[in-house]
Structure 1
Amino acid sequence: MNCYECHSRRHTTTAVAVCHVCGVALCGQHMHLDTQEVHRQAGLGKTTGDLPARTVMCSACRQAEDSVWPESAAEQQRVT
Protein backbone atom coordinates (compact mmCIF):
# COMPACT_ATOMS: atom_id res chain seq x y z
CA MET A 1 0.00 0.00 0.00
CA ASN A 2 1.24 3.50 -0.78
CA CYS A 3 0.94 6.80 1.08
CA TYR A 4 -2.16 8.78 0.09
CA GLU A 5 -0.51 12.16 0.71
CA CYS A 6 2.46 11.28 -1.51
CA HIS A 7 0.12 9.89 -4.17
CA SER A 8 -1.81 13.16 -4.27
CA ARG A 9 1.54 14.89 -4.95
CA ARG A 10 2.34 12.37 -7.73
CA HIS A 11 4.98 10.45 -5.73
CA THR A 12 5.05 6.79 -4.80
CA THR A 13 6.06 6.06 -1.20
CA THR A 14 5.34 2.90 0.77
CA ALA A 15 2.90 3.43 3.64
CA VAL A 16 3.97 2.51 7.17
CA ALA A 17 0.79 3.41 9.09
CA VAL A 18 -2.94 4.09 8.78
CA CYS A 19 -4.77 7.14 10.19
CA HIS A 20 -6.94 5.97 13.10
CA VAL A 21 -9.65 8.53 12.23
CA CYS A 22 -10.15 8.28 8.45
CA GLY A 23 -8.16 5.16 7.56
CA VAL A 24 -5.89 6.74 4.93
CA ALA A 25 -2.46 5.07 4.45
CA LEU A 26 0.55 7.22 5.39
CA CYS A 27 4.34 7.17 5.01
CA GLY A 28 6.66 8.10 7.86
CA GLN A 29 6.95 11.69 6.63
CA HIS A 30 3.20 12.35 6.58
CA MET A 31 2.07 10.55 9.74
CA HIS A 32 1.62 12.34 13.06
CA LEU A 33 2.17 10.20 16.14
CA ASP A 34 0.16 11.22 19.20
CA THR A 35 -0.93 9.62 22.45
CA GLN A 36 -4.34 9.36 24.07
CA GLU A 37 -5.52 8.12 27.42
CA VAL A 38 -7.32 4.78 27.51
CA HIS A 39 -10.67 4.98 29.35
CA ARG A 40 -13.10 2.38 30.63
CA GLN A 41 -16.21 2.51 32.77
CA ALA A 42 -15.42 1.42 36.32
CA GLY A 43 -18.05 2.76 38.72
CA LEU A 44 -16.16 4.52 41.52
CA GLY A 45 -12.74 3.05 40.58
CA LYS A 46 -9.99 4.24 38.29
CA THR A 47 -11.20 4.93 34.75
CA THR A 48 -7.95 5.66 32.90
CA GLY A 49 -5.03 3.40 32.15
CA ASP A 50 -1.53 3.90 33.51
CA LEU A 51 0.02 4.13 30.05
CA PRO A 52 -1.22 6.21 27.11
CA ALA A 53 -2.11 4.51 23.83
CA ARG A 54 -0.31 5.40 20.62
CA THR A 55 -2.38 6.90 17.80
CA VAL A 56 -1.45 7.82 14.22
CA MET A 57 -3.19 10.62 12.33
CA CYS A 58 -2.97 12.22 8.91
CA SER A 59 -2.47 15.98 8.71
CA ALA A 60 -6.14 16.64 7.82
CA CYS A 61 -7.47 14.74 10.84
CA ARG A 62 -4.83 16.25 13.12
CA GLN A 63 -5.78 19.78 12.04
CA ALA A 64 -9.47 18.95 12.59
CA GLU A 65 -8.73 17.62 16.09
CA ASP A 66 -6.53 20.62 16.94
CA SER A 67 -9.38 22.94 15.90
CA VAL A 68 -11.62 21.31 18.52
CA TRP A 69 -9.17 20.91 21.44
CA PRO A 70 -7.30 23.85 23.01
CA GLU A 71 -3.62 23.97 22.01
CA SER A 72 -2.43 23.37 25.57
CA ALA A 73 -4.37 20.09 25.85
CA ALA A 74 -3.20 18.89 22.46
CA GLU A 75 0.43 19.70 23.25
CA GLN A 76 0.29 17.77 26.55
CA GLN A 77 -0.72 14.61 24.66
CA ARG A 78 1.62 14.92 21.66
CA VAL A 79 4.61 12.57 21.34
CA THR A 80 7.75 14.20 20.00
Structure 2
Amino acid sequence: MKILFFARLRELLGSDCFEIADADCPADVAALRAMLRLSVNAQLAESLADPNVFCAVNQKVAGEDQTLKSSDEVAFFPPMTGG
Protein backbone atom coordinates (compact mmCIF):
# COMPACT_ATOMS: atom_id res chain seq x y z
CA MET A 1 0.00 0.00 0.00
CA LYS A 2 1.31 3.41 -0.93
CA ILE A 3 0.61 6.22 1.53
CA LEU A 4 1.10 9.81 0.41
CA PHE A 5 1.55 12.84 2.65
CA PHE A 6 0.96 16.45 1.64
CA ALA A 7 1.92 19.92 2.89
CA ARG A 8 3.18 20.02 6.50
CA LEU A 9 2.70 16.26 6.90
CA ARG A 10 5.21 15.69 4.09
CA GLU A 11 7.67 18.03 5.77
CA LEU A 12 7.30 16.19 9.08
CA LEU A 13 7.88 12.80 7.44
CA GLY A 14 10.80 14.08 5.39
CA SER A 15 9.38 12.28 2.36
CA ASP A 16 6.22 12.38 0.28
CA CYS A 17 5.31 8.72 0.70
CA PHE A 18 5.44 5.69 2.96
CA GLU A 19 5.04 2.07 1.87
CA ILE A 20 3.32 -0.73 3.78
CA ALA A 21 3.82 -4.37 2.80
CA ASP A 22 0.74 -6.20 1.53
CA ALA A 23 0.75 -8.54 4.52
CA ASP A 24 0.61 -5.57 6.92
CA CYS A 25 -2.34 -3.82 5.26
CA PRO A 26 -4.73 -2.55 7.96
CA ALA A 27 -8.48 -3.14 7.73
CA ASP A 28 -9.56 0.50 7.59
CA VAL A 29 -8.40 4.12 7.76
CA ALA A 30 -8.65 4.25 11.56
CA ALA A 31 -6.38 1.21 11.87
CA LEU A 32 -3.97 2.73 9.34
CA ARG A 33 -3.74 5.96 11.33
CA ALA A 34 -3.05 3.96 14.50
CA MET A 35 -0.37 1.90 12.73
CA LEU A 36 1.29 4.98 11.27
CA ARG A 37 1.33 6.81 14.60
CA LEU A 38 3.49 3.98 15.97
CA SER A 39 5.85 4.09 12.98
CA VAL A 40 6.61 7.79 12.53
CA ASN A 41 8.18 10.61 14.53
CA ALA A 42 6.27 12.20 17.42
CA GLN A 43 5.30 15.38 15.55
CA LEU A 44 3.82 13.50 12.61
CA ALA A 45 2.11 11.04 14.97
CA GLU A 46 0.46 13.97 16.75
CA SER A 47 -0.65 15.48 13.44
CA LEU A 48 -2.14 12.17 12.27
CA ALA A 49 -4.16 12.00 15.50
CA ASP A 50 -5.78 15.35 14.63
CA PRO A 51 -9.34 14.71 13.39
CA ASN A 52 -8.98 17.73 11.06
CA VAL A 53 -6.35 15.90 8.99
CA PHE A 54 -8.18 14.44 6.01
CA CYS A 55 -7.66 11.09 4.35
CA ALA A 56 -8.33 10.11 0.75
CA VAL A 57 -8.40 6.57 -0.61
CA ASN A 58 -7.81 6.29 -4.34
CA GLN A 59 -8.26 10.07 -4.66
CA LYS A 60 -11.65 10.19 -2.90
CA VAL A 61 -12.08 11.65 0.59
CA ALA A 62 -12.63 8.79 3.01
CA GLY A 63 -13.94 8.37 6.53
CA GLU A 64 -12.25 6.47 9.32
CA ASP A 65 -14.36 3.38 8.61
CA GLN A 66 -13.33 3.16 4.93
CA THR A 67 -12.05 -0.37 4.29
CA LEU A 68 -8.62 -0.71 2.71
CA LYS A 69 -6.97 -3.09 0.26
CA SER A 70 -3.26 -3.53 -0.27
CA SER A 71 -3.59 -2.05 -3.77
CA ASP A 72 -5.10 1.22 -2.49
CA GLU A 73 -3.36 4.58 -2.65
CA VAL A 74 -4.00 6.48 0.57
CA ALA A 75 -3.25 10.17 1.10
CA PHE A 76 -3.25 12.29 4.25
CA PHE A 77 -3.50 16.06 4.05
CA PRO A 78 -4.28 18.97 6.37
CA PRO A 79 -7.32 21.20 5.90
CA MET A 80 -6.95 23.50 2.93
CA THR A 81 -6.97 27.25 3.32
CA GLY A 82 -7.25 29.95 0.75
CA GLY A 83 -6.22 33.49 0.62
Q: Is the TM-score greater than 0.5?
A: no
**Structure whose alpha-carbon radius of gyration is higher:** 1
TM-score normalised to structure 1 length: 0.25
TM-score normalised to structure 2 length: 0.24
Select the structure with the greater relative contact order (CA < 8 A; seq sep ≥ 6): 2
Larger relative helix fraction = 2
Larger relative strand fraction = 2
